[in-house]
Chains A and B, each alone.
Chain A
Amino acid sequence: MKAVNQVAAADTLSGPRVAFNVERIREDFPVLKQRVHGKPLVYLDSAATSQKPKVVIDTVTQYYLAENSNIHRGIHFLSEQATRAFEDSRAKVARFLNASTAQEIVFVRGATEGINLVAQSFGRMRVKAGDEIIISAMEHHSNIVPWQILCQETGAVLRVVPINDRGEFLVDEYAKLLSPKTRLVSVVHVSNALGTINPVKRIVEMAHSRGVPVLIDGAQAAPHLTVDVGELDCDFYVFSSHKLFGPTGVGVVYGKAHHLEAMPPYQGGGDMILSVTFEKTLYNVIPFKFEAGTPHIAGVIGLGAAIDYLDGVGLDRIAAYESGLLAYATEAVSAVPGVRLIGTAKEKASIVTFVLEGVHAHDIGTILDQEGIAIRTGHHCAQPVLQRFGVPATARASLAFYNTRGEIDALVRGIRKVTELFG
């Protein structure tokens, strides 16, 4: 291992600011203290959903204990308070993504709904028969199926940018696919199945040089990297609260204001209107035009608390710590005889996906579970990626900043146990 990795892989990381102490971080996550099957829980499934710091749990509890009320309509004290907390969260998300205004932040149920919103509203407005939509070969099903539905509805064609054997996006192939027919590009920032960090700034630039708008699926990126939509200049960016240490059931769509203004509503109902008669309805301004019905108020406020918490820890320090941990995990796991890593991109975040010779991933998952180790096995909602690598299923350990080298050691012991059992 290179010296630089050894330094970064240490559980205590000194930086320009306060030292990063993973044991202190773990104190903030009550769920991590438990035992599973008699063993200390080793949670390596944060890419599926992250654990929640106590401050997020407390914020949601406090909302229901003392602040519960509907937003944007009540004249009473509680409603005003809830509305303020909800809109404060919107401002926090805008700052978190470096959006130019909070109006560009739409709350939905998750990244999946966010992509569906863009496909159904922006996509339908923009795409017609014969047009092309470009995605990549490493997309999650949530960034494939909404576009397939749109293609079926409009007669547009889906184009797929291939990846290489390391699981890297092939920029040259992308350049060839971009054409006057291209109406939209939608690409994942960090692959959930491979961990690859895509060159999204470049991807956006290349599309924009042809006047093509770009959506970035940031579900796996937001918890690990500093995301700056201003710098990326992407047209849309989506992520899920529950992968960002916030509550489930909340997602975010960032959209450039002029796009959101031009787009038709996604769903109709209360809160998205200015006035309704049976003859004509006037829609509300952005972002409310896209937020029909009572939203997940507690969840949105909880997301705000999660962002405050991350600000306190510092995403730059999180990224530095995780990159050391990833290097440690990559080396340790790949050293086990019979292990083959799937996804070995140069630029990677937080994910170690592997197969073990002669053992199906599902069996690995069960055996590790008996050791208290939680990983994801299967196709990770990215079946085309597995087809690309010719494997029916993989095992995925995904890391967060509350994981330790000790937990990686436990994972490696667990994998060795699998090998022993299957002989």
Chain B
Amino acid sequence: MSDLRELYQEVILDHNRRPRNFQKLDGANRTAEGYNPLCGDQLTVYLRLEDGVIKGISFQGSGCAISKASASMMTASLKGKSKADAEALFETFHKMVTADLSVTFDPLEVGKLAAFSGVREFPVRVKCATLPWHTLHAALEEKGQIVSTE
């Protein structure tokens, strides 16, 4: 159970139960769709990007607790951030969920997202945690295609 508590930390369960920014975004000027064919996770990320700054961000979709909480906490931590900051945080997040167990993280750098450090111990769940971020990346880049984890 201790490993499971690492994965399903209270903050993750909370964001799964009550996802933040879980709606369509009025005035969105960027959207992207993400899909995890392995487990059927599907989400849409909405952005309002003005002068390289994320003025608004939200998401919709269905997925497991990890992907839903990840999307929820991503949107909560990116509002008001620049595009460059968002991409940098994605990189840090990605490193955190894929890094070797011995690697520790600067809590200041990852903030609340540290809750996802337990995902490292569950390699098959990494895709769930990163799907919202990959989708965000596609929206920022205006790739206009469906993101898939496969």
Interface residue ranges, A against B (CB under 8 Å) = 358-363, 366-367, 370, 377-379, 383, 386, 392-393, 417, 421-423
A366-B125, A392-B42, A393-B39 known; A360+B63 contact, CB < 8 A: yes
A362:B41 contact, CB within 8 angstroms: yes
Contacts of A383 in B (CB 8 A): 40
**Could you list some 28 contacts between A and B, CB below 8 A?**
A358-B17, A360-B39, A360-B62, A360-B63, A360-B64, A361-B64, A362-B39, A362-B41, A362-B63, A362-B64, A363-B64, A363-B65, A366-B125, A377-B39, A378-B38, A378-B39, A378-B40, A379-B39, A383-B40, A392-B41, A392-B42, A392-B62, A392-B63, A417-B1, A421-B4, A422-B8, A422-B13, A422-B65
- Indicate with 1 or 0, residue by residue over B1-30, a CB within 8 angstroms of chain A CB atoms: 101100110000100110000000000000
Instruction: Considering the complex, give the chain A residue whose CB is closest to the CB of B124.
Output: A366
* Besides the known contacts A363-B8, A378-B38, A392-B42, 8 further A-B residue pairs in the complex with CB atoms under 8 A apart: A361-B64, A362-B125, A370-B4, A392-B62, A392-B63, A417-B1, A421-B13, A422-B16
Contacts of B68 in A (CB 8 A): 360
> Within the complex, what minimum Cβ distance (angstroms) separates A195 from chain B?
19
Tell me, yes or no, whether B66 is within 8 Å of chain A by CB: yes
Q: Which of B7, B13, B41, B63 contacts A423 (CB 8 A)?
A: B13
Q: Which of B1, B3, B17, B65 contacts A360 (CB 8 A)?
A: B65
Instruction: Considering the complex, give the chain A residue whose CB is closest to the CB of B63.
Output: A360
A360-B65, A363-B65 known; A370+B40 contact, CB < 8 A: no
B63:A366 contact, CB within 8 angstroms: no
Contacts of A361 in B (CB 8 A): 39, 64
> Within the complex, what minimum Cβ distance (angstroms) separates B146 from chain A?
15
A294 to B4, CA, bound (A): 47
A423 to B18, CA, bound (A): 13
Q: Is the interface of A mostly helix, strand, loop or mixed?
A: helix
B40:A366 contact, CB within 8 angstroms: no
Interface residue ranges, B against A (CB under 8 Å) = 1, 3-4, 7-8, 13, 16-17, 38-42, 62-66, 68, 122, 124-125, 128
Q: B1, B17, B40, B124 — which one has the most chain A CB atoms within 10 A of its CB?
A: B40
A194 to B98, CA, bound (A): 35
Contacts of A392 in B (CB 8 A): 40-42, 62-63
Instruction: Considering the complex, give the chain A residue whose CB is closest to the CB of B7.
Output: A366
A363 to B16, CA, bound (A): 11
Contacts of B66 in A (CB 8 A): 362-363
A273 to B60, CA, bound (A): 56
A417 to B1, CA, bound (A): 9
Contacts of A378 in B (CB 8 A): 38-40
Instruction: Considering the complex, give the chain A residue whose CB is closest to the CB of B17.
Output: A358
> Within the complex, what minimum Cβ distance (angstroms) separates A364 from chain B?
9
Contacts of B4 in A (CB 8 A): 366-367, 370, 421
> Within the complex, what minimum Cβ distance (angstroms) separates A25 from chain B?
30
> Within the complex, what minimum Cβ distance (angstroms) separates A378 from chain B?
5
A247 to B68, CA, bound (A): 38
